[in-house]
Amino acid sequence: MLFIFSMLRALTKMPSISISFNSFLLLLLLQIAAIPVASGQLPQFNSQQMNWLGDRVFANECNRNFSCLTSWNEGEDFPSLGIGHFIWYSSQQNERFEETFPILLAFYKKHGYELPAWLEALENLDSPWQNREQFLADFESHRMQQLREFLDSTTELQVLFIVERLHNSTADLFRELEPSQQSSVEASFYEIANSQTPYGMYALIDYVHFKGTGTATSERYQGEGWGLLQVLLELQGSTANLDDFVAAATRVLKRRVANAPSERKEQRWIAGWTNRLQTYLPSQ
């Protein structure tokens, strides 16, 4: 706590060109101070590592391409927005994947960010595009350009949102496991988290963001999930290091593709997914 107070004092002495970064760093320090003691087993990112994490996620999802901040991938039934390609559903749309963009918008408002006016005007925060054709036809519209500019100028909060998802998921991650599994899976989780800092935390944070926690029963093909929990279960019997984590995640994602409905043609994505997993290793 003394470290946090000393950092807060230092912020007031930083040059004016750092105002936006100062605001983010202040927000980050307050968030760290609010993390329960039980989460102390997870190492914390410093400001430089947070910037690195945001760049990694943006590179993974968009190859750092500005126009990719608003995307609708071929073969998917929803748009993907922001550096983390947060999913947004239209009204009454029911899908197996967790919808994250409305949660991100609530996170913006919680932290005092002003949304673009057209987003604020949406009554239920449902996506206004009913299909990919509508979305692409609207791609160069004022509201779409405004959305890309907003997302590009607020990447720091998107990174914090992604990090918080991991912190908030730890309580649920092990809850449904058999007692005989719980302690070993939890131990593997924390061993990975503390591996080759900051890569271990990056691997966990990015995978949760990328493929979910694995606790949602809707995210299953033929009864088998593909989230972080399934990777940790796959890891049992192996050493809890980053190489084995990547190998376990690769097996889980290949199993997902094998179990997926044939019309989804998920084999087209497996090369990109496995390349993304390789970025969890420091040598990459």
124-174 pLDDT tens trace: 899 999 999 999 999 999 999 999 999 999 999 999 998 888 888 888 888
**In the chain, pLDDT over 90 holds for what percent of residues?**
61
pLDDT (0 to 100) of residue 284: 60
Token pair recorded at residue 184:
């070993």
pLDDT (0 to 100) of residue 46: 87
Separation between Cα atoms, residue 8 and residue 151, nearest integer Å: 27
pLDDT (0 to 100) of residue 283: 79
- Measured CA angle at 99 (ends 212, 97), to 5 deg: 55
Residue 175 or residue 115, greater confidence: 115
In terms of average pLDDT, the best of 30-44, 166-180, 213-227, 244-258 is: 244-258
- Centre a 10 Å sphere on the Cβ of residue 73 and count the other Cβ atoms it contains: 13
For residue 82, pLDDT beyond 70: yes
Q: Give residue 240's pLDDT band: very low, low, confident or very high (50, 70, 90).
A: confident
Which pTM was predicted? 0.73
Separation between Cα atoms, residue 86 and residue 200, nearest integer Å: 22
pLDDT (0 to 100) of residue 257: 97
Of 6-20, 28-42, 53-67, 214-228, the one with minimum mean pLDDT is: 6-20
Token pair recorded at residue 31:
């968030």
Separation between Cα atoms, residue 246 and residue 145, nearest integer Å: 37
Separation between Cα atoms, residue 116 and residue 255, nearest integer Å: 41
Q: Give residue 38's pLDDT band: very low, low, confident or very high (50, 70, 90).
A: very low
- List, for residues 184-239, the tens digit of each pLDDT value: 999 999 999 999 989 999 999 899 888 989 998 889 999 999 999 999 999 988 88
